[in-house]
Amino acid sequence: TDSDTADEAVRATCDDASTCKRFATSKGYWTDLYVQYFVRQIGERKAPEINRGYYGRVRGMNLLIDAFLKKTRCDCQVVNLGAGLDTTFWRLKDENIMPKKFFEVDFPMIVARKIHHIKTKPPLSKPLIETHSTDSLVLDGHSLDSDRYCIIGADLRDLPALEEKLKKFQINPELPTLFLSECVLVYMTPEKSSKLLNWVAHTFPTAMFINYEQVNMNDRFGQIMIENLQRRQCNLAGVDVCQSLDSQKERFLSAGWESVKALDMMTVYSMLPREDVARIERLEFLDEKELLHQLLQHYCICWAVKDKLSLGLSQIGF
């Protein structure tokens, strides 16, 4: 059906993200020891502005993730929604800042692929086994559960099923919980994503939600971005919410979140540690500064909190 084709195009986007991350790390933009096990080939060259854009995305997300782990002293959970082939769990393990439990959710087909990689590559499976107390890891084609890491096949648009699966794998709603969605909500209708944000806000009294996606899409450059995705049958069903930073914030406030901040990536990029930015800007010559600026102005990070336990989550920022 049409909707199967649409979902298939959306699923394919996780390879794009990881392929770009793989390429940028091969150039030295940042270190990721694990992405190579999910994407074998370095692949064709990416333009310097794309690499810098991914650098800002990964550094920006990581700064907020690490700040949440610090505030909660790792006495928390992380739920990565639409995780794709993301490697954050392995980074946190190596840096000794693992949450109590790290959950990942994606379509069953993507999850099956990720589980296959984990099963067949010791550098991926070893950290799971090391942090697991018994001999038995729960493993079937569509989910994997260990003490500290769990990956679940589910459709984020089907909340009853999502809730049931998270419960089955012992999510604790009372524990401070960090939700991540990196280039995910934009593929869902505004109605579906707002239901998801609502459900999180009303189920987890102490929580933070970090969303990375397109913004300022109602100009010429935004139009070209949309056309490029449509050419690959990839429908940005949620693009209506990507009109402005205010509309990004409003979706969280109307879903019941207490406070919310949003910055475009141009601003985030300018707030990243100067020495490291200077280092990566020397890696590749960038001819067209204007193109990078355009790109950065069309993505944002938005983060919202609910803080029943009064941990000071609203202080988290750049």
Residue closer to ligand SAM (CB basis): 104 or 307: 104
Q: Half-sphere exposure of residue 190, counting CA atoms within 13 Å on the CB side?
A: 11
> Count of residues binding ligand SAM (CB under 6 A)?
21
Residues sharing a CB contact under 8 Å with residue 167, sequence separation 6 or more, in sequence order: none
Specify the 3-state DSSP secondary structure of 160. Answer: helix
Which of 83, 229, 296, 313 contacts ligand SAM by CB under 6 A?
Answer: 83
Residues in 159-198 at the binding interface with ligand SAM, rule: CB under 6 A: 182-184, 187-188
Give me the least distance between CB of 300 and ligand SAM, in Å please.
14
* Residue 301 lies near ligand SAM (rule: CB under 6 A): no
Give me the least distance between CB of 307 and ligand SAM, in Å please.
25
H-type alpha helices, the chain:
2-26, 35-38, 48-71, 88-94, 108-120, 122-130, 159-168, 190-203, 220-231, 245-253, 265-271, 274-281, 289-297
Give me the least distance between CB of 51 and ligand SAM, in Å please.
15
Strand partners, 89: none
- Mark 55-67 as b/e (b = at least 16 C-beta within 10 Å): bbbbbbbebbbeb
Residues sharing a CB contact under 8 Å with residue 268, sequence separation 6 or more, in sequence order: 56, 60, 296, 301, 318
Q: What is the H or E stretch that residue 148 is in?
A: none
Residues in 124-163 at the binding interface with ligand SAM, rule: CB under 6 A: 155-157
> Amino acid letter at 21?
K
Contact map string, positions 1 to 30, toward ligand SAM, x by CB under 6 A: ---------xx-xx--xx------------
The two three-digit tokens of residue 271, written as one number: 């707030």
Residue closer to ligand SAM (CB basis): 13 or 77: 13
* Residue 237 lies near ligand SAM (rule: CB under 6 A): no
Which of 24, 110, 150, 152 contacts ligand SAM by CB under 6 A?
Answer: 110
Give me the least distance between CB of 190 and ligand SAM, in Å please.
14
* Residue 66 lies near ligand SAM (rule: CB under 6 A): no
Residue closer to ligand SAM (CB basis): 57 or 311: 57
CA distance 77 to 99: 5
**Residues interacting with ligand SAM, by CB under 6 A?**
10-11, 13-14, 17-18, 82-84, 86, 106-107, 110, 155-157, 182-184, 187-188
